Amino acid sequence: MNAINEAMVGQMTRVFTELATRNDCRVVLIRGEGANFSAGGDMGDIATMASADRDERAAAVSEAVENLSRPMSLACADLPQPVVASVRGHAIGVALQLVLMADLVIASQTAKFSLPQLRLGHTPDHGESWALPRKIGLSRALQMCLLAERINAATAEAYGLANWVVADDTLEEQTEETIGRLLSLPPLATKNAKRLMRDGLHRSLPEAMDAEIASIREVAAQHDFLEAVRAYSEKRAPVFKGC
C-alpha cells in the first residue's frame, strides 16, 4: 500500500530540495509503485507515538509534524519545475497532500482520495488545510475533512483535484505523454509561468502585472525566446536549449 513512514518523509524532503537546484531536471513526477499511490502515513509510527504518556505523546506528534511533515510539504511546494502526480488506487492523508502539491494530476479510474485524520483523532497535519481549500474550494474541503469522505476519480476531476481521469491500463502512457508535452516547452519560461500562476493567487492585479513584466524581461533575453519565434515563423518544431 506504499505507506509513508518517517524515514520516507525525510528522504522525500531531501530529494525535493536537491531537485529544486538541478537545471537538468525539468519535470518532477510523483507516483506510487503497484496498485496504490499511497495509503498515507505508516500506522506503526503513529501507534508508537500514541503509546507514550500524555505529554510525551503530544510532544512527539507535534515534533513529527514540525520536523518532518512541514519541511516535506514546503520542499515540494518550492519546486520550480512542473510537478506531475500520476495516481492509481488510494491517495490517503499525507499522500493526498503530495497530490495537492502537484501542478498537474493524472488519475486512473481506480483512484480514490481521502483525508481521514479526524477518524484517527487528530487534524490535518501536512498542509492540507492550506492546499485543499485552494484546490477544490472551502465547502468541498470541509466536506472531505469533517466527514473524512473518500472521493473517487470522477468526483476528483469534477472538483478540480484531478486534471484528467484515464483508464487504468493507459495511466502510464498518458503520464508519459503529459511529461513529453512539458519537456517540449522552454524550461525557463515554464518555470516562470508556474511561479506566476501560483504567486498570482496571493497578489493584487498590479502586483501580478509587475511580476509578469519582470518575467517577460527575463525570458525575452533568452535564446529560447528567439528560437520559439523563429520556429513559429518557419513552421517547424523549436529546439530549446534552456538558455
CB-count burial class (<10 Å; 0-12, 13-18, 19+) for 223: middle
Q: Please state the pTM of the whole predicted model.
A: 0.92
- Residues 180-203, mean pLDDT to the nearest whole number: 96
Q: Fold match between 6-182 and 185-233?
A: no
- Give the architecture (CATH level 2) of 185-233: Orthogonal Bundle (1.10)
- Give the Cα separation of 99 and 132 in Å (integer): 10
Fold of 6-182: 2-enoyl-CoA Hydratase; Chain A, domain 1 (3.90.226)
In the block, which residue shows the cell 473518500?
150
Q: pLDDT per residue over 95-136, tens digit each?
A: 999 999 999 999 999 999 999 989 888 889 899 999 999 999
What is the distance of C-alpha 184 from the center of its chain? 21
Q: Where are the domains of the chain?
A: 6-182, 185-233
Q: pLDDT per residue over 130-159, tens digit each?
A: 999 999 999 999 999 999 999 999 999 999
